[in-house]
Chain A
Amino acid sequence: KAGVTQTPRYLIKTRGQQVTLSCSPISGHRSVSWYQQTPGQGLQFLFEYFSETQRNKGNFPGRFSGRQFSNSRSEMNVSTLELGDSALYLCASSLGRLGTQYFGPGTRLLVL
């Protein structure tokens, strides 16, 4: 089976812009979770989607949003980018809710 794919792999944006990241889970996986990884804060849980519904959300401002489509693909959006949003954004999929997570390679976002 193909692994989790994330696009784009690298992205440079400027403050105030918005960005959309995409994640395609492993075929058959219905749960997609998003994480932000920074040197200072480590791996922070953003949100989890299961069957097109957001099941849980981490402690992030409303500028961070996401959605999941009927084919389980997911997108996350960050509006009004800030310098502190520079991070590696990781997507993970699993068969059911939570459980063993299979991670994609990540999207490295740099905000200038």
Chain B
Amino acid sequence: SQQGEEDPQALSIQEGENATMNCSYKTSINNLQWYRQNSGRGLVHLILIRSNEREKHSGRLRVTLDTSKKSSSLLITASRAADTASYFCATDNNNDMRFGAGTRLTVKP
């Protein structure tokens, strides 16, 4: 069964705009990770945030984590057409990793 739920399911924006995706989960976690998947290929790890961290940055990516609300958000700033992909959050509870259903992001040039 899935642990995380991403919101929205799909997002379409213009190049240069910011994209925000949210993830909610149900159980306590050790860390939360975000991955990107281009059209039916393998997933690529983007960023990991530990349960005792509240915010993390990596290039144009900003991730926040609110363990009290069991939610996380991924912000992609100044989006590019190459950011078009599906984005998944994954929770690690020291037992296994569970992925959400993903957000399909389309960035129009």
User: With an 8 A cutoff between CB atoms, is A98 at the interface?
Assistant: yes
Give chain B interface residues in 44-60, CB to chain A under 8 Å.
44-45, 48
**Residue of A35, A56, A100, A102 with highest tally of chain B CB at under 10 A:** A100
Closest to A90 in B: B42
Per DSSP, chain A at the interface is: strand
Question: By the criterion CB–CB under 8 Å, are A98 and B92 in contact?
Answer: yes
A26 to B99, CA, bound (A): 22
Q: How many residues of A contact B (CB 8 A)?
A: 24
**In the complex, what residue of chain A is closest to B45 when comparing beta carbons?**
A100
Whether a CB of chain A sits under 8 angstroms from the CB of B97 is yes
Interface residues of B in 68-109 (CB under 8 A from A): 88, 90, 92, 94-102
Q: Nearest residue in A to B40 (C-beta to C-beta)?
A: A88
Known A-B contacts A42-B102, A45-B98, A98-B97; the reply to A4 vs B42 at CB < 8 A is yes
The 6 A-B pairs at the shortest CB distance, nearest first, are namely: A103-B42, A43-B99, A103-B43, A42-B101, A56-B96, A98-B92
